Chain A
Amino acid sequence: MTQLIIILTYLGLLLILGVFSSRMFKGTSADYFLASRSIGPFLLLMSLFGTTMTAFALVGSTGATFKDGIGVYGKMASWAGIIHSACFFVVGIKLWSFGKRYGYTTQIQFFRDRFESNGLGLLLFPVLVGLVIPYLLIGVMGAGTTIEKLTGGALPNIFPAAGVGPAARAAGAIPYAYGSALICIVVMIYVFFGGVRGTAWANAFQTIVFIVLGVVTFVAISDKLGGMKEATAMVQKHNPDKLRRTVRENDTLTRYKGDVNVYEKRLAAWKAKPESNRGRAPKKPVKPHGIGHLKFLSYMFIPLSVGMFPHLFQHWLTAKSAKSFKLSVIAHPLLIMLVWVPCVLIGVWATSAMIDGKPIIPYGFSNPNAVLGKLVASSTGPVLGGLLTAGILAAIMSSLDSQFLCLGSIFTNDIVAHYVKDGALSDKQRLLVGRAFVVFIVIVTYLLALLRPGSVFTLGVWCFSGFASLFPLVIAALYWKRTTTAGAYACVISTAATWIYLFAQAGYGANRGYLFLDMMPVATIIAVSTVSLIVVSLITKPPSAATIDKFFKK
């Protein structure tokens, strides 16, 4: 019950903030979609950081480290610290300046102008929307699941226990459908009324919440484990492979051996059942294997996705001036470190933490993403559990809001407003259409989330790869005069084709460890898209002098 009260209080505070920010709303579509280009350095930093850090920063980082060890920080966080700021500096500021000069609201408007092509906008539209939707679903599904898993016992008279196995719901837990609906409604309300300004304020609040709660959780957990030195010493004794990126012949591998023991018992129990009643066979634990150098290196391409996220583009355009970017460029790597280092340490400690000789995370525990919640539940009280849940929801919602709004903006500006006759759509109508699309997208996302498409989580990584692979397009558009319309088409089409081919090779995401040439698939897709863009641009007619003048004249 305590956890539910904390969650509801948090959501209430968020709505109050939404109402507060909507009082500053000027009633125009430019204010709704771009906050009249008035966002200063602090709000911009919080918006960009909150949008780029999903729930993965808290829950996923802990789980991934629990599974693969400390190499996770180098693969994801420290690369992101370098590359994200590079994207803000090299791409963000420049796009902001074109946005202000020529009045762009969406990415597609910029690309249409830069490449003198309506068709390119039509090609990009399904690609960008298609890549954002799984990302949205992950947020809504993650929120519903988090609420259901962490509110067990809250309302036993209303929600009895249901289901069996991993999908079982504890008595009193808020069902998935209600939890995800609650999150969708809260986000929809403040996005509907406050637009991007409401989103920026909400993101600032939520980003502070999840940073502070991450640090509080870290201190509380390390205290319960007997201190930081003791917690790490246990890992050195039982699972030293988690503290490096290799596995040695003589490693203890206590957790792996424990997992194998549990697996063998489960397998024997599974075999003992009649064949008609067996269900799925238990999954064999994967032996720790370290990380290869090429794979580690190829992770550098993933954060390039930031350069092509449509929701981040929209936040860039809200900046008051180019100077507003300065704080984000500097502080982004430091904030990433502040959130990730504690989570990575907790994930490593969770592999070996024991109470009375028994592991806190039991052997055979098959859901790494639940490690943080499990650790909090078993080593701290319900208040911290509730606060952590609020922190996780904050991280989810601070990405969801921007994505909902950006899809509303894309539909309104790139489809409706773009294809009605000049002047036929008044500003009020444009605003109305934008809000209607936001509501529509929230409802569609919620209905899709009710289907619980499990594969969507796998698809998430591939979405990042897709956005990253389009990065050469935006770089060329900004810095290479010779890039042609045909070159831009070639880049998008070759990205889509290579992405689909490698996705199919990976069993449509089923093979989670899929590598191509020992590297993450994104490395190959980027190489193909870059070569296509350059070669086709060089053999086709250069852009008009007017366009070059418009985008490259000092």
Chain B
Amino acid sequence: MKKIIYGLIILLAVLHHDWWWWDDSDTLVFGFVPIGLAYHAGISLAAGFLWTLVVIYCWPTELDDVQPVSPQASNNGGHA
């Protein structure tokens, strides 16, 4: 499932490059949104949907219960 969802995100990134609407100013969605803009608004909606799938099916559950390695580690990190 994970592979399919990640694949869909890559597909979405590929579909972002919509050369087929590049030269179209005549087609309007709802009578006022130019198709090139409507398509990209659709890309944003699709992104929201795909990231929902990611959250449901690909969530790194092992990170849900991360705990500090020591009580002192609350704000004293980074002393390499």
A interface list, Cβ under 8 A from B = 29-30, 33-34, 70-71, 73-74, 77-79, 81-82, 85-86, 89, 93-94, 96-97, 99-106, 108-110, 112-113, 115-118, 121, 228-229, 231-232, 236, 240-241, 243-246, 248, 293, 296-297, 300, 321-323, 326, 329-334, 336-337, 341, 344-345, 348, 413-414, 418, 422, 554
Bound together, the chains give a CA A115 to CA B51 distance in angstroms of: 31
Bound together, the chains give a CA A102 to CA B71 distance in angstroms of: 10
Task: Known A30-B74, A296-B17, A333-B44; judge A244-B34 contact (CB<8 A).
Answer: yes
- CB neighbours of B34 from chain A (8 A): 70, 232, 243-244, 348
| Chain A to chain B contacts (Cβ below 8 Å), 8 pairs | A29-B75, A73-B37, A74-B43, A78-B16, A97-B63, A103-B72, A103-B75, A232-B32
Question: B68 is contacted by which of A103, A231, A345 (Cβ under 8 Å)?
Answer: A103
Let me know if B51 and A85 touch, CB within 8 A: yes
Inter-chain contact total with CB atoms closer than 8 Å:
176
Bound together, the chains give a CA A369 to CA B37 distance in angstroms of: 20
Closest B residue by C-beta to A70: B37
**B75 shortest CB reach to chain A, Å:** 4
Let me know if B74 and A109 touch, CB within 8 A: no
| Residues 60-80 (chain B) with a chain A CB within 8 angstroms | 60, 62-64, 66-69, 72-80
Question: A103 is contacted by which of B22, B63, B77 (Cβ under 8 Å)?
Answer: B77
| Residues 10-24 (chain B) with a chain A CB within 8 angstroms | 12-13, 16-19, 21-24
Let me know if A246 and B28 touch, CB within 8 A: no
Task: Known A82-B47, A104-B78, A418-B78; judge A322-B63 contact (CB<8 A).
Answer: yes
- CB neighbours of B48 from chain A (8 A): 81, 330-331, 333-334, 337
Counting chain A CB atoms within 10 Å of each CB, which of B19, B48, B59 scores highest? Answer: B48
Bound together, the chains give a CA A184 to CA B66 distance in angstroms of: 38
**B39 shortest CB reach to chain A, Å:** 8
Bound together, the chains give a CA A331 to CA B49 distance in angstroms of: 9
B interface list, Cβ under 8 A from A = 9, 12-13, 16-19, 21-26, 28, 30-34, 36-37, 40-41, 43-45, 47-48, 51-52, 54-55, 59-60, 62-64, 66-69, 72-80
- CB neighbours of A96 from chain B (8 A): 63
Let me know if B47 and A85 touch, CB within 8 A: yes
**A62 shortest CB reach to chain B, Å:** 13
- CB neighbours of A78 from chain B (8 A): 16, 40-41, 43-44, 47
Closest B residue by C-beta to A79: B16
- CB neighbours of B22 from chain A (8 A): 244-246
- CB neighbours of B78 from chain A (8 A): 102-106, 108-110, 112-113, 121, 413-414, 418
Let me know if B36 and A330 touch, CB within 8 A: no
Bound together, the chains give a CA A323 to CA B26 distance in angstroms of: 45
Task: Known A326-B55, A345-B37; judge A34-B17 contact (CB<8 A).
Answer: no
Question: A333 is contacted by which of B33, B47, B59 (Cβ under 8 Å)?
Answer: B47
**A125 shortest CB reach to chain B, Å:** 12
Bound together, the chains give a CA A113 to CA B22 distance in angstroms of: 47
Question: B45 is contacted by which of A94, A293, A326, A334 (Cβ under 8 Å)?
Answer: A334
Task: Known A81-B43, A82-B43, A330-B51; judge A243-B32 contact (CB<8 A).
Answer: no
- CB neighbours of A236 from chain B (8 A): 25-26
- CB neighbours of B59 from chain A (8 A): 326
Bound together, the chains give a CA A93 to CA B54 distance in angstroms of: 13
Closest A residue by C-beta to B13: A82
Bound together, the chains give a CA A413 to CA B40 distance in angstroms of: 42
Closest B residue by C-beta to A348: B34
